[in-house]
Amino acid sequence: MDNIRSRRFLVILVLIVVTSYASLYGALTGLASSGETDYLFLALYTTSGSSIPSFMSFIALLGPFVGIILGFDGITGEKSERTLYRIAAQPIYRDSIINGKFLAGTALIFLMVFTMGISIGAVGLLATGIPPSLEELGRVLVYLLFTSIYICFWLGLSLWFSVVCKNAAASAMAAIGVWIVCALFMGLIAGIIANLIYPMNNDYQALMNSMGNYTLELGINRISPYYLYSEAASTIMNPSVRAVNVITVESLSGAISGYLSLGQSLLLVWPHLAGLAALMLATFAGSYICFMRQEIRSK
């Protein structure tokens, strides 16, 4: 209830609702002009309008802010309001405090993501009149699961900063700083490191080092949760994506063009889901350990 009644959360919720339905309008406009017929239901989430990004792009950009807003003052806010000492003095287990903070935010994130995703599909169905197949429904549900875990990672990270930082402002700035590095600068850093190890300054180096350069840059980029999520989401929501690694001429020899099934797409991205889940649990474990080792006393 604290999260639902929070003005910060209500503001970001209104922003996400507005941008989501704006992306749906852009998708319907783009589909009408393009005449797309294959996987029309999935296109509601992936198609951009003339000047409006797709639903997937909006969620990848704004999703981390939801997690950060729900967690950046989870502990520092209690300390500043001097309510943490009263809670800790009650006959409850101390880990119930940090567990409740994370689980409450997680439940709200899953509820919000699935509600928005299903409502976008419902409005799109009414607008197009074409019912989705079971394959498309499965892909959308898996995508919403990926999205929820991705946002929960940022919740766990911001909650961790809320435990270790002395005030809410420092916690928020630290979490936003990590998001900026992951979303904006990780590609630049990956390119610089790859070019240093596998230089491509001339034609000979480009011929010899192109494979190593691309593989290393891809591996460094996948350290970023933003890149990991974006790659997995595009693979799930686009059945024409057949690989997430380097494709050579030999691997294309004899290949038959077509769409992948949901099971085959999941085989490509299950490491991404496992990685996002591991990062989410690691951030929560860090906040849990730091909180349990902290001294809580009234001053």
Distance CA 83, CA 97 (A): 12
Let me know if residue 179 belongs to a domain.
Answer: yes
User: What backbone torsions phi and psi does residue 260 show, to the nearest 5 degrees?
Assistant: -90, 150
Residue from 42, 1, 38, 29 nearest 233 by CA: 42
Contact 159, 71 (CB under 8 A): yes
Distance CA 101, CA 65 (A): 17
Let me know if residue 299 belongs to a domain.
Answer: no
Contact 159, 284 (CB under 8 A): yes
Let me know if residue 260 belongs to a domain.
Answer: yes
Task: Return all residues near 22 (Cβ < 8 A) that are at least 6 apart.
Answer: 52
Question: Would you tell me the crossing angle of helices 225-237 and 134-164 to the nearest 10 degrees?
Answer: 170
Task: Return all residues near 7 (Cβ < 8 A) that are at least 6 apart.
Answer: none
Let me know if residue 298 belongs to a domain.
Answer: no
Contact 205, 195 (CB under 8 A): no
Task: Return all residues near 242 (Cβ < 8 A) that are at least 6 apart.
Answer: 255, 260
96: its two tokens = 């119930």
Let me know if residue 166 belongs to a domain.
Answer: yes
Let me know if residue 197 belongs to a domain.
Answer: yes
Q: Where are the alpha helices (DSSP H) in 47-133?
A: 55-71, 76-80, 84-88, 95-128
114: containing domain:
2-293
Let me know if residue 258 belongs to a domain.
Answer: yes
Let me know if residue 276 belongs to a domain.
Answer: yes
- pTM assigned to the model: 0.88
Could you give the number of structural domains in the chain? 1
State how far the alpha carbon of 76 is from the alpha carbons of 155, 158, 256, 279, in Å: 14, 11, 56, 22
Per-residue pLDDT of the chain (299 residues; tens, 9 = 90+): 777 777 877 888 888 888 888 888 888 887 766 656 677 888 888 887 767 888 888 888 888 888 898 888 888 877 777 777 777 777 778 788 888 889 998 999 999 999 999 998 888 888 888 888 888 899 999 999 999 999 999 999 999 998 888 888 888 899 999 999 888 888 889 889 988 888 888 777 777 888 888 888 888 888 889 888 988 888 898 888 777 776 665 555 555 666 788 888 888 888 888 989 999 999 999 988 988 887 765 54
